[in-house]
Amino acid sequence: MTVLPITIWGEPVLHRRAAEVEEFDDELRTLIADMFETNDAANGVGLAAPQVGVGKRIFVYKYANEDGAPPAGVLVNPVLTLSKVSGALPDPDEEEEGCLSFPGGQFPLKRAEWARVQGFDGNGQPVDFEATGWFARVIQHEYDHLDGKLYVDRLLDRYSRKAKKLAKKSGWGVPGLTWMPGVDPDPFGH
């Protein structure tokens, strides 16, 4: 297994819809193993293929949950069904998100409290489970990456302005920027 570099906001693969996976083969399973290794090295709770420069509809997660879903898993070609997102303002103390592809930034975002995800594992076997609370947030966050969205694209204006300032100050927004988990400093201080 290999730790892969993580792409940073501005890399084109992060901002376009990922392609469906058509082959459930050894190449796919190697990518999935590398994604798990990279997610672990980055202290992440999830990682989508576009975050490692691969425009395919795959994400891995590692999140202990009380929903009966495995604490770690992979979703290939997932489909997401969500409950309604509350119209309330996000709680800055309870609903703050971060992203490995927007390293170090954390901003409040309102998400659906319930999600059902259906898709396939790395062998093409069906996967189907429900997630609630923070686990639902993790699933939604990773799924967004497959549609070319980062959580910062969903922020309310006041937080969006702060995120754009951070991106400008950090020199992001251009292709070719990455960071290497286990080599570069952990942007979230784990």
Annotated active-site positions, please? 142
Reduced to 3 states (helix: H, G, I; strand: E, B; else coil), residue 113 is coil
Positions of E strands within the chain: 6-7, 46-48, 58-62, 72-82, 96-99, 102-108, 114-120, 126-132, 178-179
Q: Residues 50, 77: contact at Cβ < 8 Å?
A: no
Cα distance between residue 89 and residue 110, in whole Å: 7
Helix-strand-coil split of the chain, %, nearest 5: 30, 25, 45
Q: Decide if 140 contacts 82 (C-beta within 8 A).
A: yes
